[in-house]
Amino acid sequence: MGDHLDLLLGVVLVASPVFGISPCSFDGQMALYHFCNLTQVPQVLNTTEKLLLSFNYIRTVTTSSFPFLEQLLLLELGAQYTPITIDKEAFRNLPNLRILDLGKNQIDFLHPDAFQGLSHLFELRLFSCGLSDVVLKDGYFRNLKSLTRLDLSINQIHSLHLHPSFQELSSLKSIDFSFNQIRTLCESELKPLQGKMLSFFSLADNKLYSTISVDWGKCMNPFRDMVLETLDVSSNGWTADITGNFSNAISGSQIFSLILVYHIMGSGFGFHNIKDPDQNTFAGLARSSVIRLDLSHGFIFSLNSRLFETLKDLKFLNLAHNKINKIADKAFYGLDNLQILNMSYNLLGELYNSNFYGLTKVAYIDLQKNHIGIIQYQTFRFLEKLNTLDLRDNALKTLSFIPRISAIFLGGNKLVTLPKISLTANLIHLSENRLENMDDLYFLLQVPHLQILILNQNRLSSCNRSPTPSKNLSLEKLFLGENMLQLAWETGLCWDVFKGLSHLQILYLNNNYLNFLPPGVFSDLTALRGLSLNSNRLTVLSSDDLPANLEILDVSRNQLLVPNPDLFVSLSALDITHNKFICVCELSPFLSWLNQTNVTIFGSPADISCTYPNSLSEISLYSISTEGCDEEEVLKSLKFSLFILFTVTLTVFLMSVFIVTKFRGFCFICYKTTQRLVFKDHPQGTEPDTYKYDAYLCFSSKDFEWVQNALLKHLDTQYSDQNRFNLCFEERDFVPGENHIANIQDAVWSSRKIVCLVSRHFLRDGWCLEAFSYAQGRCLSDLNSVLIMVVVGSLSQYQLMKHQSIRGFVQKQQYLRWPEDLQDVGWFLNKLSQQILKKEKEKKKDNSIQLQTVATIS
């Protein structure tokens, strides 16, 4: 499912870089020779800057291998399929080389002077080259005064006895010795590096200090007089003891970032043979100014008391992916400057008030992916600088509090409801919970300063009352996908949920089972730019459904039949794939819009296809012709002589149309008034007949208020003396206590007509459907139509047809629709009155209103 609104969320897809030239060739600056079966360096232009020769069969490189390439900056000569020999001053013809990559070669012979002459070399890659200690001992790198990065990882180096010339490599910043066999490292070996400041030094994956016992008294501090920005000693199998001895040994050396991931410190779950780190483990780092400590991916089960006490400068502590289940009292004591604490992916089950004691400056605590089921009330209360708390993917069922911070992540828990306490936040993430009641949504929408609210994958469906939303809320992005808003809205409540969201820019309502949009539900969303209605069950969109300034709309995977293109004019992009288009002439405005619009249409043409008629099923709308739908057009373009007449007629016609559309309600009132004046008090005679009631009004009790306002007040004599009908309806005329069926039967047989007001509620009310069947029964026995069906609300033909008794009726008879425009109501009531008065023997004439235009479908 493509979420195009991501475009608005600032997600930018970066196309992968593609070389502009074909393989095994060169242009002015770049020569690309990967996988070209070369056995020697090819001839390239002297303007070449990048020469890429990896994956070939080059066996030897000597001084004469390369032509003089003054411009060359990058040479890749790695991963040759044959062993390679590199001779004396092999790269002398490349005086300005910056990067030399020889990685993944089997170097059979490397001359000690191989790299001489590369005075501008910045980076030398020698990883995975089968090199031994000799490469360090014998001064291979002397004179490389620009050398900054040296990669010697994945080789056969056992000891780091550095040649004295390392002392002169004044640019050297980063050295990678990971994946070698350096079992021990003492002060004497790194002497040439003393006094240097390195940004990166890696000794990871060397089994360093863990397989042989070290006499630290003799070995002393390998990093004496050095400043290391990052020291990586990961994956060396370090226990708490080794770590402790190492920290003590390097005491005083500056190490700003210590990476010790994949260690074996800690007892793990259910074991006791290896100790958890304790107060002594990191004590030796007291004077090392450690700012970042990464201890992730280990087996720490218990965070012991005062564990980090000496790390006063620490700002980032990563304890993710351990087995932490216990946090001892004062575990974080002393971390006065800590800002980010990462304890995700551990085994925490509960949090206590005392757990984070001492973290006075912590701003971000990451606790996702634990098993936290309960949090003591004041756990986060005294963390005054806290602004982000991540509790995603835990086991919280209830919360008694939510800290007042700017971003709170609670997704992936089991929350059923939220505590109604005062709250401020910019971002609240609550997806994948079990929230059910719309009250929680209304509550969250009131949170001051809230900008992003993420509530997808909940169960929002029930609406008890419609609380009044406030004005001008700050919310900008609202994610409500994968809920069940249909259930809430079809009760007729909570239609005002988006009221006041005048700053909202992005709204996701995908996968909510929606088969209608409440009228005006988006009317306040004047700032809305992106709306996703993806994967619902909408069959129509009407012009007032969409917010005015919408730019991107996703209505894919709905059941739109014949969309009106006028809806989409304001858009810049639209996804309308996977709908159920009915390919009949009514669709031609949409087809021609689709053919020439400037709006970006997402998806492939094949996904915008017909569902009906069968002959066109699965055919793309782009390949359908609208020929034969234009007959009216042909008529219009008759002879010019007809044109004048036509124009005049048209003008008159349009005037009348205008008057009728704009003032038809008023005209009708005038007409009725005139009629009354002319005929004085001669109401069209209603000859007395045998019926007790004029009509039995059958409707769902949930619609009572509406019926009372819309119909009863204008028709029933008891509501007003002006009214002329004696109506029957359950709320007033049914005999209390008597069998309901008997009441219905009685009403059906003692009324001249039966008027069924078929609404959404009606269709769900068993009694109403029962009454409808009875009324039909009477139709049959009277061989006439006493049943008048009025469809109220936006019910589709399909929804009506689902009910057996109504299907029978709809197929044979015509029915009325309650008018959408208020000014038509008077006229409609008049028509309805005539129908009620109409004599039964008369053949029903076509005086029904707004016949289903979609009748072509059935």
Ligand X SMILES: *[C@@H]1O[C@H](CO)[C@@H](O)[C@H](O)[C@H]1NC(C)=O
User: Which residues here bind ligand X, judged by CB under 6 A?
Assistant: 24, 36-37, 46, 70, 213-214, 216, 241-242, 245, 296, 320, 340, 342, 344-345, 364, 366, 472, 474, 591-592, 595-598, 625-626
- Nearest distance in Å: CB 445, ligand X: 14
Q: Tell me the three state secondary structure of residue 168.
A: helix
33 vs 177 by CB, closer to ligand X: 33
302 vs 344 by CB, closer to ligand X: 344
61, 328, 384 from 86: Cα distances, Å: 5, 58, 61
- Nearest distance in Å: CB 100, ligand X: 20
> Cβ distance 850 to 823 under 8 Å?
no
- Nearest distance in Å: CB 764, ligand X: 40
* Residue 252 CA to its chain's centroid (Å): 48
Contact residues for 775 (Cβ-Cβ < 8 A; gap 6+): 696, 698, 748, 754, 756, 786, 787
Bridge partners (DSSP) of residue 553 are 531, 574
Residue 393 — left, alpha, or beta (φ > 0 → left; ψ -120 to 50 → alpha)?
Answer: left
CA distance 777 to 139: 107
42 vs 519 by CB, closer to ligand X: 42
With b for 16 or more beta-carbon neighbours within 10 A and e for fewer, the 295-320 pattern comes to bbbbbbbbbbebbbbbbebbbbbbbb
Q: Which residue has the tokens 């490599």?
A: 169
- Nearest distance in Å: CB 626, ligand X: 5
Contact residues for 217 (Cβ-Cβ < 8 A; gap 6+): none
- Nearest distance in Å: CB 647, ligand X: 27
344 vs 515 by CB, closer to ligand X: 344
- Nearest distance in Å: CB 154, ligand X: 24
CA angle 33, 39, 42 (to 5 degrees): 50
Q: Which residue has the tokens 């479908």?
A: 857
- Nearest distance in Å: CB 377, ligand X: 25
407 vs 416 by CB, closer to ligand X: 407
Contact residues for 827 (Cβ-Cβ < 8 A; gap 6+): 664, 665, 668, 819
125 vs 499 by CB, closer to ligand X: 499
Nearest of 511, 462, 471, 469 to residue 491 by alpha carbon? 462
Strand pairing of 174-176 and 552-554? Answer: unpaired
309 vs 390 by CB, closer to ligand X: 390
Contact residues for 512 (Cβ-Cβ < 8 A; gap 6+): 480, 481, 482, 483, 484, 485, 486, 536
CA distance 769 to 310: 78
468 vs 718 by CB, closer to ligand X: 468
DSSP state of 446: T
362 vs 728 by CB, closer to ligand X: 362
- Nearest distance in Å: CB 390, ligand X: 7
Q: Which tokens is 54 given? A: 């990896």
615 vs 641 by CB, closer to ligand X: 615
92 vs 838 by CB, closer to ligand X: 92
Q: Which long-range contacts (CB under 8 A, 24 or more apart) does 647-653 make?
A: none
32 vs 460 by CB, closer to ligand X: 32
595 vs 656 by CB, closer to ligand X: 595
- Nearest distance in Å: CB 526, ligand X: 12
84 vs 265 by CB, closer to ligand X: 265
CA distance 376 to 338: 22
310 vs 342 by CB, closer to ligand X: 342
- Nearest distance in Å: CB 366, ligand X: 4
| Residue 80: other Cβ atoms inside 10 A | 22
Radius of gyration of the chain (CA): 41
Q: Which tokens is 177 given? A: 């010795």
347 vs 669 by CB, closer to ligand X: 347
136 vs 265 by CB, closer to ligand X: 265
Nearest of 609, 753, 771, 625 to residue 693 by alpha carbon? 753
> Cβ distance 611 to 617 under 8 Å?
yes
- Nearest distance in Å: CB 29, ligand X: 12
Q: Tell me the three state secondary structure of residue 182.
A: coil
Nearest of 763, 832, 756, 828 to residue 795 by alpha carbon? 763
216 vs 749 by CB, closer to ligand X: 216
CA angle 375, 377, 379 (to 5 degrees): 70
CA distance 683 to 696: 22
- Nearest distance in Å: CB 320, ligand X: 4
- Nearest distance in Å: CB 627, ligand X: 9
- Nearest distance in Å: CB 64, ligand X: 17
- Nearest distance in Å: CB 850, ligand X: 30
- Nearest distance in Å: CB 184, ligand X: 11
With b for 16 or more beta-carbon neighbours within 10 A and e for fewer, the 167-197 pattern comes to eebeebbbbbbbbbbbbbbbbebbbbbeebe
- Nearest distance in Å: CB 342, ligand X: 4
CA distance 441 to 497: 8
DSSP per position, 46-97: TT--EEE--SS---EE-TTTS---TT--EEE----SS-EEE-TTTTTT-TT-
* Cis before 222? omega within 30: no
- Nearest distance in Å: CB 601, ligand X: 13
228, 386, 401, 492, 500 from 166: Cα distances, Å: 16, 46, 59, 80, 68
Q: Which residue has the tokens 């005392």?
A: 354
